[in-house]
Structure 1
Amino acid sequence: MMKNIGNNPIHKHQVNHIRAKNKRGNWLAVILFRISRRDFGFCLTALFLFCLGSIFWQLNGGPPNILQGVRYYFGQSTFTDDHGPIAPNVLPFPRKVVYNRVGKCGSRTIVLLLRILADRHQFTLVSSDIHNKTRLTKHEQGTLMRNISEIPQPFLYTRHVHFLNFSRFRIDEPVYINIIRDPINRFLSNYFFRRFGDWRGEENHLVRTPGMKDEERYLDINTCILENYPECSNPRLFYIIPYFCGQHPQCREPSEWALEKAKQNVLEHYLLVGVLEELEDVLLLLERLLPHFFADVLNIYKSPEYKKLGNLTGTVRKHTPSLEALQVLYQRMEYEYIFYNFARDLFHLTKRKIGLRSGPRPSRRHRSPDPNAQEEEQDEEEQD
């Protein structure tokens, strides 16, 4: 007698299990088939490139120099353990620094320090003698940037010139640094310097402005401001922002566009933008951020030998305009002050990150211009 196993529960369970297993196997085969068709070529290509890279790695005696340099920069101890002392031709980062110095913002003080530092630390310092050509044609921009890129490294190049966008010309970009100051103080320093020079000798203003007539040279600054002479009005007062905005024609006119472009360039291209009112902190940050160039700069700045040179850079015959004239200037320089406060806040943020706690000076955005307070600031300054 034959048993009817079709209705056996155990048999049904086994059949269902086999069907489910076959079903899962079919789905797995479909998935593997789809993946292999789509990605098999990519996997082989990646494996081939990995093997090829390993071969070149070994044939070249190890990792490329750029990877060794990066590893040295982020961790010297582990690098030395694996590779021994670093080769003499591998330099600390960065190797290229551009200081497109803003006029009457302590640039002569910094250049004096750089000449001492270049001899001490053996880097190439190129300080351009071109003072009155900050705006360049496209051809001039390309030529200047190519010339800068050919300077022996490590180098620091400095010139009064508006921001140059190296990446636009497909040239390796350097590290940018700069220093700015209170816009009204900068204007006053420039106004009197053009007319009367500095403590190096009052006759040097005759060399800088030989064609200036006496009525212009001795023009009262209050008259210049309140009667809206070209030198004391826009666009001549729109001076600091173009150094950071760049070479675009719109950078030369006071506008929201130029202001925002200058802010963007500071955030994207500048390692540090310091403020002259806190020069010692600026030097300390430069020493921390660029030790190959600025190591021991603060001690040099405070040394008696340097003070003898630095004291000669102060502008002579400088005095403060009336309160009415200061208020007019402040209104005309609204964009300049927005940018100055932005850069100063960014500078203070960098100080906090580094660990400096010195307090900032009060800002003009919190008070009206005070002639007496400003005169005290001018007396303290010797960095022009």
Structure 2
Amino acid sequence: MGLLRVMMPPKLQLLALLAFAVAMIFLENQIQKLEESRGKLERAIARHEVREIEQRHTQDGLRERDSSASFPPDNEDDVVIIYNRVPKTASTSFTNIAYDLCGKNHYHVLHINTTKNNPVMSIQDQVRFVKNVTEWREMKPAFYHGHVSFLDFTKFGVKRKPIYINVIRDPIERLVSYYYFLRFGDDYRPGLRRRKQGDKKTFDECVSAGGSDCAPEKLWLQIPFFCGHYSECWNVGSQWALEEAKYNLVNEYMLVGVTEELEDFVMMLEAALPRFFRGATELYKTGKKSHLRKTSEKKPPTKESIVKLQQSAIWKMENEFYEFALEQFQFVRAHAVREKDGELYLLAQNFFYEKIYPKN
């Protein structure tokens, strides 16, 4: 090479160096493309292996189920969802979607009707309920709903817990809706006589007069529903109950939506649990009866009434819980959907498996 440099003119030497550099860049690009192709091939092979493994597991599960009918199938047909609905949070609207879909999607819907709508079960009823939910195979898969506070199934030695979901609402809006519901009912069952029917006093008049039906203590409901069957949960203004409700919301509930963003809640459930909620979003948008329940004769409260309620420590705690739930829901939604042209779109699967050993 040294002899060539002596014999070659400087211009030719420069051209030779440029040619060499171009050749090296070309080789590096080819090597990079080969590496990318190898990566794509490895991912394709990994996905193929995953599909084969899933197919084998499915076939093995079917063979095991056929060969041993005494054991319940460990698949999505064994799933139980519990929606321990809080009153006046659009719970009937959402539940009607489940009723509309149960025949098409092949699951059972069961209403938990407690005496006098008492959200706290006796210890013997807790045992009965847990036994029913876990062992009533003829009713699986199942969607249970009712005005019942959270019940921890692990306390009863249950290994496969149900999936909890729920919806909550701005605490003052929920109370106002409930106040007028007790007096005027709604458009769902307009002929049904309500407990306070005939009382024409508005919510603002109730607040001004210091009435019991609009007292701050009536705001204390969403926290105990999530807190559960402990006595402290129902002590109005308990800080322990607030923290327990937050803990359960994050650790025991798969998803908790808010009334104000119910469509997003429905869409995310359909993506996460299509076995139950396939078609729910379209039904919510276009259905004629699934989400039309509205409280009759409801009058928005004045600013003065709202400010008066917001001065109470109970509102501050219930609102803190609502804001906590809203932030959690928006966090989950931000990692599940994207917005484009005013429409929300679910994100595609964003993970895969690779380097699966041993090789078949």
Give me the TM-score of the superposition, normalised by structure 2.
0.71
Distance 1:179 1:75, change over 3 A: farther
Identity of aligned residues (%): 31
Match of 2:12 in 1: none
Unaligned runs of 5+ in 1: 1-73, 360-384
Q: Does residue 95 in structure 1 map to residue 89 in structure 2? A: no
Q: Does residue 341 in structure 1 map to residue 323 in structure 2? A: yes
Q: Does residue 307 in structure 1 map to residue 288 in structure 2? A: yes
Q: Could you tell me which of 117, 123, 132 is aligned with 2:101?
A: 117
Supply the distance in 1 between the matched residues of 2:171 and 2:82 (Cα, whole angstroms).
Answer: 22
Give the SS at the match of 2:76.
Answer: coil
Q: Which runs of 4+ in 1 moved over 6 A?
A: none
Give the SS at the match of 2:117.
Answer: coil
Residue 310 of structure 1, CA deviation: 3.2
Match of 1:154 in 2: 141
Residue 198 of structure 1, CA deviation: 1.0
Q: Does residue 186 in structure 1 map to residue 166 in structure 2? A: no
Give the SS at the match of 1:236.
Answer: helix
Deviations 1:68-102 (A, max 9, x none): xxxxxx95543215765862855338711111011
Q: Aligned-pair RMSD on alpha carbons?
A: 2.4
Deviations 1:245-266 (A, max 9, x none): 0011111122211110000111
Distance 1:125 1:203, change over 3 A: closer
Equivalences for residues 123-272 of structure 1 within 5 A: 123-130=107-114, 132-152=117-137, 153-172=140-159, 173-200=161-188, 202-204=190-192, 206=193, 208-209=194-195, 212=196, 214=198, 217-252=199-234, 253-272=236-255
Give the SS at the match of 2:256.
Answer: strand
Deviations 1:200-251 (A, max 9, x none): 45432x1x31xx474xx21221121133222212432201111100011111
Tell me if structure 1 keeps the 8 A contact 2:202–2:299: no
Residue 348 of structure 1, CA deviation: 0.7
Letter in 2 for 1:144: F
Distance 1:185 1:260, change over 3 A: same
Give me the TM-score of the superposition, normalised by structure 1.
0.67
Letter in 1 for 2:178: N
Letter in 1 for 2:84: N
Give the SS at the match of 2:82.
Answer: strand
Tell me if structure 1 keeps the 8 A contact 2:283–2:290: no
Worse-matched range after superposition: 146-155 or 318-327: 146-155
Distance 1:285 1:247, change over 3 A: same
Match of 1:274 in 2: 257
Unaligned runs of 5+ in 2: 1-48, 66-72, 343-360
> Greater relative contact order (Cα 8 A, min sep 6): structure 1 or 2?
2
